[in-house]
Structure 1
Amino acid sequence: MTTASPSSSPQSAREALAVRLQHLCKDAGLTGKELSARCGWHPAKTTRIQKGDVLPTDADIRTWCAACGADDQADDLIATARAVDSMYLEWRRLHGTGMRKVQQDFNTLHERTRLCRVYVSNVPPGFFQTPGFATALMQQITAFQGTPNDIAEAVAARVARSRFLYEGGHRYVMITEESVLRYRTADPGIMAGQLRHLLAVMPLASVSLGIIPFTAQRTVWPLEAFYVHDDTMAVVETLTAEIRVTQPREIADYTKAFAGLAAMAVYGDAARTLIRAAIDALE
């Protein structure tokens, strides 16, 4: 990922926060010295914050916003600051002792999530995966990352997540690209089993499954996989890292993108037709 993205690393996220604070200062027509006087602190502190050298505290942000007449932006900026050091988690570090613990941590997150909106453009999400498919996928990931092999334990933890489909209080709304049905992520027999499993879970009351056909007119371009947990967190999965987004402004963007993607998808019998066509292509 490039450092230009506010979500690419803690440092770039800190710099993006600093830029937003700088803009508040400029919009208020204040110099750094004038802002410092209004905030009641040394100008050197203002400079360090504006350069992204230090992360401002909640109190610092509220004071800064008040000095700029922008109290309405304080909560969003505070959420941004709190997320900086925990938002970007490199997979190799997370999988440093194997994949089992990460899968268990995801189970804990899903346990407290009431509504999970999921968009995938690569593979079915873990809670929809069969043991065979999860094994094939994790074998590829472990080999690519060169991390410890605890695949059997990790698969068991991942497959255990599917219990939330059958327990009350959880709802999963998934949008996937038709290409996901066609990718040969595992051998044909395992892929066919995975696709049949999607057909099996579609009737569940806790599940809504939509598929964006190849032929759909795009209003939202294909994106990286993301999971919106209630309206409190969006988990974005890239090749190298998991990014946890908690800023209200960014979460709103992900929910907006999800709504656009959902509008392009087909459901029910039309979705089943696409899945069955993918199975037929394997056979």
Structure 2
Amino acid sequence: MSNQAQEAREALGARLRGFRKDAGFASGRAFAHATGWQESKVSRIENGKQNASEDDIRVWCTKTERPDQIDDLIATVRHIDELWLEWRRQLASGAEKRQSKALPVYAKTKLFRIWHPTLVWGTLQTAEYAAETFKQVVDFFEIPNDTEAATAKRLERQQYLYQGDRIFNVLLGEQALYTNFGGPEVMKGQLDRLLAVMRLARLNLGIIPHDAPTRIWPGNSFSMFDDRLVLVETYSAEFSITQPREIEQYAKAFALLQQSAVYGTAVRDRIFAAIQHFDRIPTDS
């Protein structure tokens, strides 16, 4: 869980503890008896060790005679949930819905800072490359196969490359040019796409060579949307960062990563080298 999510959970627990004490329940045991809960549940919620559900909030506020606080605290619980979203929950009905959620965020953003150490950023992907990534998502998370719809929704993001005055600062690890999604033909098509889009005036595409001196460890991929939101992806979940102090850390990390990157002709040279690499790999007949 992100620091921000944990801090929010602890703050909620402290607030609920205050309600309990104000209502005359001197101990968690007394409150557990009144609610029919386990005493350990009361303790975990109050100490930020367990998420309170929306039903828990309703019971807590009713028992402590604070019904006027129910709506506000339920909104808090939902916000905590949004800070750390398990992929299985997000993808329960397939991948398209998650791709659709990205579009309003992109529409509002003026400055994008993107770091992907091992694959091409979604907004720069070809349809074939994107489809291969979604096939892996479907298999890994065992979700409904809506690869075609999810791919189409991801490609809708590309409109923002050509609209307004947005700036896209995109960093890829050199490995992203070689991570093989779909075989040589898919990869060569994707690499050709990078050669085309890097000519866009508002796109600054940097590559961090595999042997470049580093100022900071590569870490997970992350996407920054202005100075208001960072999304970080792991194998199990995606978490949202909105706390200014944490966003500043990611901005600092991005600036350090940029110091290891090459641009312009050096990027083209590395893309051409990757194309030659895939030219040497036999295609499946």
TM-score class normalised by the smaller sequence: 0.7 to 0.9
Distance 1:17 1:254, change over 3 A: farther
Superposition RMSD in Å: 2.8
Partner of 1:280: 276
The secondary structure found in structure 2 opposite 1:85 is helix
Which runs of 5 or more residues in structure 1 are unaligned? 22-35, 56-79
Partner of 1:136: 132
Question: Which residue, 166, 169, 173 being the options, matches 1:170?
Answer: 166
Query: How far 1:169 moved relative to its partner?
Result: 2.5
Partner of 2:244: 248
Could you tell me which amino acid in structure 2 is paired with residue 239 of structure 1? Y
Distance 1:261 1:161, change over 3 A: same
Partner of 1:263: 259
Question: Which residue, 216, 220, 226 being the options, matches 1:220?
Answer: 216
Partner of 1:121: 117
Query: How far 1:14 moved relative to its partner?
Result: 4.5
Question: Which residue, 221, 225, 231 being the options, matches 2:227?
Answer: 231
Contact (CA 8 Å) 2:95, 2:146: kept in 1 or not?
yes
Partner of 1:73: none
Query: How far 1:51 moved relative to its partner?
Result: 2.3
Distance 1:44 1:204 in 2: 65
Partner of 1:153: 149
The secondary structure found in structure 2 opposite 1:84 is helix
Distance 2:277 2:118 in 1: 18
After superposition, the C-alpha distances for 1:222-281 in whole angstroms (9 at most, x for unaligned) are 111100100001000111111101111110110000000011100000111111111111
Contact (CA 8 Å) 1:83, 1:247: kept in 2 or not?
no
- Which structure has the greater CA radius of gyration? 2
Distance 1:262 1:255 in 2: 11
Distance 1:41 1:207, change over 3 A: farther
Distance 1:216 1:43 in 2: 61
| Alignment of structure 1 residues 189-228 onto 2, 5 Å | 189-228=185-224
Could you tell me which amino acid in structure 2 is paired with residue 132 of structure 1? E
After superposition, the C-alpha distances for 1:190-249 in whole angstroms (9 at most, x for unaligned) are 011101101100010120100000111111111111001000010001111111011111
Query: How far 1:151 moved relative to its partner?
Result: 0.9
Distance 1:201 1:16 in 2: 45
Partner of 2:60: none
Distance 2:178 2:122 in 1: 17
Distance 2:259 2:234 in 1: 24
Deviating beyond 4 angstroms after TM superposition, the runs of 4 or more aligned structure 1 residues are 12-18, 40-45, 47-50, 80-83
Could you tell me which amino acid in structure 1 is paired with residue 243 of structure 2? Q
The secondary structure found in structure 1 opposite 2:230 is strand
Query: How far 1:50 moved relative to its partner?
Result: 7.3
After superposition, the C-alpha distances for 1:134-190 in whole angstroms (9 at most, x for unaligned) are 011101110111001111111011011111101123221101100111111221100
Distance 1:113 1:218 in 2: 28
Distance 1:130 1:234 in 2: 24
Which runs of 5 or more residues in structure 2 are unaligned? 28-41, 52-75, 280-285
Could you tell me which amino acid in structure 2 is paired with residue 254 of structure 1? Y
Question: Which residue, 6, 16, 26 being the options, matches 2:3?
Answer: 6
Partner of 1:89: 85
Contact (CA 8 Å) 1:129, 1:194: kept in 2 or not?
yes
Distance 1:247 1:280, change over 3 A: same
Distance 1:267 1:228 in 2: 20
Contact (CA 8 Å) 1:6, 1:16: kept in 2 or not?
no
Contact (CA 8 Å) 1:119, 1:258: kept in 2 or not?
yes
- The total of aligned residue pairs comes to 234
The secondary structure found in structure 2 opposite 1:86 is helix
Query: Identity of aligned pairs, percent?
Result: 37
Could you tell me which amino acid in structure 2 is paired with residue 192 of structure 1? K
1:99 aligns with 2:95: yes
